């Protein structure tokens, strides 16, 4: 049979020198942006997909990858870091320990090529074979931004790349990446575009903080800004406004439910206006429960 040479990762062209992944089945969305003779990569998906991710970006943009930025620590954004272990890797300081703590999980993912075939499977196997003794250092950032930082600028081959952190939102180590010269913003998982959001309370999530972060994102966007969500379709600032509205609405609903002595289970099982339009329904109950718990605790 003929080998499969097509990529399992769907991509979308954003600008002549910028592409991003799309779709819900391969992990968090990735931005690849070329500046002069090198590529900046934002997020890295899962380990088995990462060598094909890198290959695709380098082929499409005709330059080598030179730097990786992680928007936060979750495995569908960082397990693939090992395919970029030769590059500088930047993340929020709070992400470092969380990434290192997931190394055993990452090693298991690295060895699992069962969902791939053709060239993508070959690349994944080669990556695993080249790291037989992978350590947390192969995934962890090589540079971190201090916990209290709010804004930093990297000069990436002449292109200013703005890294922002407002306050804990989706996690305690969220970054969003703004590239004004290209009018592109990667929101990481501070934006779940028309999907139920994953609220990681054990990792410091705060929906109040999430709203504040999204408001800051809106401040940086104009009507032409391309906004890349962590999950869901690539969109514009309207998607960020919808994320804010969702949290404000559901926080208010939880507050009223608690005032009226509605139980957590009953709150979760009460229909919402979002049930027919948000994807990722399997995390609906977790999302609503997290919002209820946060309001009940007075935060």
Given a cut of 70, whether residue 1 has pLDDT beyond it is no
* pLDDT band at residue 299 using 50, 70 and 90 as cut-offs: confident
Tell me if 287 sits within 8 A of 254, measured CB to CB: no
Taking the mean position of all CA atoms in its chain, how far away is CA 126? Answer: 25
pLDDT, tens digit (0-9, with 9 covering 90-100), for 73-104: 999 999 999 999 999 999 999 999 999 999 99
Give me the pLDDT at residue 2, please.
Answer: 45
pTM of the entire predicted model:
0.97
The string over 194-220, giving b where at least 16 C-beta atoms fall within 10 Å of a residue's C-beta and e elsewhere, is bbbbbbbbebbbbbebbbbbbebbbeb
Tell me if 83 sits within 8 A of 42, measured CB to CB: no
Tell me if 48 sits within 8 A of 115, measured CB to CB: yes
pLDDT, tens digit (0-9, with 9 covering 90-100), for 125-179: 999 999 999 999 999 999 999 999 999 999 999 999 999 999 999 999 999 999 9
Chain-wide mean pLDDT for the chain? 97
Residue 65 bridge partners (DSSP):
39
Give the angle 19-20-23 at the CA atoms, nearest 5°: 145
The string over 44-65, giving b where at least 16 C-beta atoms fall within 10 Å of a residue's C-beta and e elsewhere, is bbbbbbbbbbbbbbbebbebeb
User: Rg of the Cα trace of the chain?
Assistant: 19
Place of tokens 């919808």: 242
Per DSSP, 282 falls in state G
Cα(137)–Cα(175) distance, rounded to whole angstroms?
A: 21
Locate 158 and state its tokens: 């002449």
Cα(25)–Cα(36) distance, rounded to whole angstroms?
A: 31
């Amino acid at each position: 049979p003929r080998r499969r040479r097509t990529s399992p990762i769907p991509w979308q062209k954003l600008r002549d020198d910028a592409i991003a992944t799309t779709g819900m089945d391969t992990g968090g969305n990735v931005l690849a942006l070329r500046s002069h003779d090198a590529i900046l990569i934002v997020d890295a998906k899962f380990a088995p997909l990462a060598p094909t991710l890198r290959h695709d970006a380098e082929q499409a943009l005709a330059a080598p990858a030179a730097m990786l930025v992680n928007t936060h620590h979750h495995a569908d954004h960082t397990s693939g870091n090992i395919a970029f272990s030769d590059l500088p890797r930047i993340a929020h300081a709070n992400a470092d320990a969380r990434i290192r703590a997931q190394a055993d999980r990452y090693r298991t993912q690295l060895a699992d090529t069962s969902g791939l075939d053709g060239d993508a499977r070959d690349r994944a196997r080669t990556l695993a074979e080249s790291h037989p003794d992978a350590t947390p250092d192969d995934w962890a950032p090589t540079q971190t931004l201090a916990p209290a930082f709010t804004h930093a600028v990297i000069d990436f081959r002449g292109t200013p790349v703005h890294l922002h952190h407002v306050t804990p939102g989706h996690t305690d180590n969220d970054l969003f990446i703004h590239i004004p010269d290209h009018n592109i913003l990667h929101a990481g998982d501070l934006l779940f575009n028309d999907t139920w959001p994953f609220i990681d309370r054990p990792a410091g999530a705060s929906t109040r903080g999430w709203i504040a972060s999204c408001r800051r994102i809106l401040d940086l966007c104009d009507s032409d800004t391309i906004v890349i969500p962590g999950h869901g379709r690539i969109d514009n600032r309207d998607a960020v406004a919808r994320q804010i509205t969702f949290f404000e609405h559901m926080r208010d609903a939880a507050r009223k439910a608690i005032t009226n002595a509605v139980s957590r289970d009953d709150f979760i099982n009460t229909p919402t206006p979002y049930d027919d339009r948000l994807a990722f329904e399997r995390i609906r109950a977790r999302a609503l429960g997290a919002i209820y718990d946060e309001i009940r605790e007075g935060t």
